[in-house]
């Protein structure tokens, strides 16, 4: 199987990722499974707008890949990564593919392709704050 076919198959198995920001945030959480950050910090670290980060956080929270503890006294929240979400059957393999630069590029390209063809699901590129054209580089 080619890298592009692997990316397509794994994204279908996981099922919840709709935008490259979703993937980048998921990779961030996999690398840093316990963190205390505000949304503004995620935006600064990953290079996306606040609306994109908020939409991606919602997707990962709803899927059960991340839990968030409320902290009304502070803007930062504790986020905990978990592999027990709704699409978790393919998650370890997807993260393994995303552990390489070529794998991340293939996954990101497939997400962009889906968004441009209207097959991305409920969160589309048009709903995001900033466009995502071009390669994102090695993250």
φ/ψ of residue 137, rounded to 5: 85, -175
Task: Say if residues 135 and 47 touch (Cβ distance below 8 Å).
Answer: no
Write down the pLDDT at residue 127.
Answer: 38
Separation between Cα atoms, residue 65 and residue 62, nearest integer Å = 8
**Across 4-18, 35-49, 53-67, 108-122, least confident range:** 108-122
Confidence of residue 134 (pLDDT cuts 50, 70, 90): very low
Q: Is the CATH code 3.20.20.80 the one for domain 3-127?
A: no
**pLDDT of 126:** 40
For residue 47, pLDDT beyond 60: yes
How much is the pLDDT for 87?
55
DSSP 24-46: HHHHHHHHSSEEEE-HHHHHHHH
Q: What pLDDT score was predicted for residue 110?
A: 95
């Amino acid at each position: 199987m080619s890298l592009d076919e692997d990316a397509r198959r794994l994204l279908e198995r996981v099922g919840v990722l709709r935008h490259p920001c979703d993937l980048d945030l998921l990779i961030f959480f996999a690398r840093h499974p316990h963190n205390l950050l505000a949304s503004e910090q995620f935006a600064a670290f990953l290079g996306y707008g606040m609306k994109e980060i908020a939409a991606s956080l919602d997707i990962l929270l709803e899927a059960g890949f991340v839990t968030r503890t409320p902290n009304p006294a502070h803007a930062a929240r504790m986020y905990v990564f978990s592999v027990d979400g709704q699409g978790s059957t393919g998650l370890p393999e997807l993260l393994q593919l995303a552990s390489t630069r070529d794998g991340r590029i293939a996954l990101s390209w497939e997400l962009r392709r889906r968004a441009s063809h209207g097959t991305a699901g409920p969160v589309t590129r048009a709903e995001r704050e900033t466009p995502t054209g071009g390669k994102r580089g090695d993250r």
